[in-house]
Amino acid sequence: MTKYVTKFGSLDSYEKGGIEIINDDPKHYVFSNIFEVANSSKPWEKVAVGKNMEYVIEAIRAQGTSEWRTCAHDEFPTVLDGEVTIELVKLDKPTLAADHPGSVKLKDEPVGKKMGRIVLRRGHQALLPANSAYRFTAKKPGVLILQTIHGDDTIERWADICLS
Amino acid sequence: MTDVKATKPNLQGYKDFSIGGFHFRRDEFFAHITWPTGKHVMSADTFLRALQRDVAWDFFYGTVNFDHVFGTVNHYGNVDMFAGRFNDAYRKAELDHTENFESPVLKQTFEAMLDDWTNASFDPFASPAETDKPFGQKKGSNTSAVTRRRVAAARMVGVPGDEKIRTDKTHPINRMFADVPQDEPEVYPEPGFEKDVAAFSLFAYLSRSDVTWNPSVVSICKASLYCPTTEEYILPIVHGNDRVDWFIQLSDEIVWDVQDRDSGAPRAKVTMKAGDVAAMPADIRHQGYSPKRSMLLVWENADPGLPERISKGLASVHAVQF
Ligand SMILES: [Fe+2]
């Protein structure tokens, strides 16, 4: 009986696939690897690895404690490597217009009721509810991807991260 | 099912179906399709696997090519059924044929055909290693398998009141994902915030999927949909995009054949390993090959206005310019 081994990637260990072009431009496939991107990112940098009109998926290097952020719509982090703790606070006074895209950094500590805490490990996905404040902590370097909308702090460096 | 045109069972036990100018007949091995300007034969295996996806996905996004000749194009409310439309030789010979139907009307015929042509021991959604062959004379039916409910979270899987996480009782871990950790996240909501403080293990959830090549929604940010799926063997359709779709390979490896959407001419071969991300342009068709059962996050933009903006040239067929 074959013992199957499921291959996930990590910061320390990943293999990158590739594109064999027959009649096209490799840039059209916007091909990158999340672990490679996170390996060359600063902690908590929000680097877009996917973009479909206003929507993005950001690859984020989780390391140390992030700033507090808030967003007018739901966002969804998924941890692909390491362990990340999320703290959530219900803001007494949400600061963003209802249609503000993406998250923004809070200048000060959030004011409001504590909503709770979540600990995510590899493969775990969480909800960051609209109009809450959130902060991530990772004791060791890890990686998460964030389903969100292109915001003020989304970084696009496609030429650096994509096959061409 | 009064609108479905079907015959009595033939010698092999299967009914013939017709809708508009198209006629469908199955025998022990094949689906035979005819239309006013031609005819086509497909393996019953390929045909039923493709038909299953087309029905379950409400004709999906864009084009569902059953193979290089036959398929459907979704116009979201109505649908084209075609033969030879995305095949250069058929187009040049002017033998291609397209008919438009109200989506529920075609769906009803497709559902009836799928149910009648699927035998008891065949599950069109399952990996070929996990189900019997679809061939032979009619023997029973597998209605529960071909009418599976499409999973679609309203906010996120695991949020109270939304789609539930999967357990041993209903969804045993797949043989190829036996090594996937099953721990769930630690969730500590303060009183009153139980509905908003939520998390689940996506990897454990996917390791328990009993279907292949069947994207289902796990989280929604406005029109941005995470539609992960587990893949084994070959995608039973060739998907023609009407917008960019994105792939995030979560585990293992898939190879994609990418062709021109309209002509079918090869454009690229994309090999994706765990952590790889790639966009599939809006003017391609693609088919994936997964040697081991793998986890693929399909990411869709469900904005209903997008296909028209792209077809009119108001939005690019490419995800990003750089
Ligand atoms: Fe596609």
Q: Are residues B191 and B306 in the same domain?
A: yes
Decide which of B124, B153, B186 is a domain's last residue: B124
Q: Please tell me which residue of chain B has the smallest CA distance to A5.
A: B179
Mean pLDDT across B96-107: 97
Among the partner residues A73, A90, A122, nearest to B221 by beta-carbon distance: A73
Q: Are residues B16 and B117 in the same domain?
A: yes
Q: Are residues B70 and B196 in the same domain?
A: no
B223 touches chain A (CB under 8 A): yes
Residue B252 lies in a domain: yes
* Structural domain for B226, as ranges: 175-311
B316 touches chain A (CB under 8 A): no
Residue A1 lies in a domain: no
pLDDT in tens, B211-256: 999 999 999 999 999 999 999 999 999 999 999 999 999 999 999 9
Give CA torsion, residues B173, B174, B176, B180, to 10 deg: -20
Cβ-based neighbour number of residue A164 at 10 Å: 12
ipTM for this model: 0.98
CA of B239 to the centre of ligand 1 (A): 5
Q: How far apart are CA B29 and CA B51, in angstroms?
A: 16
Nearest 5°: phi and psi at B186? Answer: -85, 120
* Structural domain for A124, as ranges: 26-163
Residue B317 lies in a domain: no
Residue A109 lies in a domain: yes
B314 touches chain A (CB under 8 A): no
Q: Are residues B181 and B294 in the same domain?
A: yes
B201 touches chain A (CB under 8 A): yes
On the question of pLDDT at B1 being above 80, the answer is no
Domain count, chain B: 2
Q: Which two tokens stand for residue B150?
A: 């499409």
The helix (H) or strand (E) run that includes residue B113 is helix B103-117
Give CA torsion, residues B239, B242, B244, B248, to 10 deg: -30
Whole-number pLDDT of residue A95? 87
Residue B193 lies in a domain: yes
Name the minimum distance, in Å, from the CA of A25 to any CA of chain B.
9
Chain A contacts of B272, Cβ < 8 Å?
17
Chain A contacts of B188, Cβ < 8 Å?
116-118
Specify the CATH number for the domain of residue B213. Answer: 2.60.120.10
Whole-number pLDDT of residue A110? 97
Residue B117 lies in a domain: yes
Residue B238 lies in a domain: yes
Decide which of B90, B124, B158 is a domain's last residue: B124
What value does the mean pLDDT of chain B take?
A: 97
pTM of the predicted protein model = 0.97
Whole-number pLDDT of residue A20? 98
Report the share of chain B in percent with pLDDT over 70.
Answer: 99
Residue B34 lies in a domain: yes
CA of A77 to the centre of ligand 1 (A): 24
B129 touches chain A (CB under 8 A): no
Q: Which two tokens stand for residue A75?
A: 């966002």
Domain count, chain A: 1
pLDDT in tens, B142-189: 999 999 998 999 999 999 999 999 999 999 999 999 999 999 999 999
Nearest CA to B301 among B236, B218, B242, B237? B242
Mutate to test the interface with B, among A120, A125, A157 (most CBs of B within 10 A): A125
pLDDT in tens, B189-206: 999 999 999 999 999 999
CB contact under 8 A, B226 and A147: yes
Whole-number pLDDT of residue B148? 94
On the question of pLDDT at B2 being above 80, the answer is no
Residue B231 lies in a domain: yes
Residue A83 lies in a domain: yes
B178 touches chain A (CB under 8 A): yes
Residue B137 lies in a domain: no
Q: How far apart are CA B229 and CA B207, in angstroms?
A: 10
Residue A14 lies in a domain: no
Whole-number pLDDT of residue A2? 72
B248 touches chain A (CB under 8 A): yes
Residue A34 lies in a domain: yes
Contacts of B182 (CB under 8 A, 6+ apart): B173, B201, B204, B207
Residue A3 lies in a domain: no
Chain A contacts of B216, Cβ < 8 Å?
none
Among the partner residues B197, B270, B277, nearest to A32 by beta-carbon distance: B277
The list of chain A residues with pLDDT below 70 reads 1
B181 touches chain A (CB under 8 A): yes
Q: Are residues B217 and B277 in the same domain?
A: yes
Whole-number pLDDT of residue B55? 96
Whole-number pLDDT of residue B181? 97
Whether A33 and A52 have beta carbons less than 8 Å apart is answered as: no
Specify the CATH number for the domain of residue B67. Answer: 2.30.31
Whole-number pLDDT of residue A51? 98
Specify the CATH number for the domain of residue A125. Answer: 2.60.120.10
Q: Are strands A154-155 and A46-52 parallel, antiparallel or unpaired?
A: parallel
Residue A11 lies in a domain: no
Whole-number pLDDT of residue B146? 96
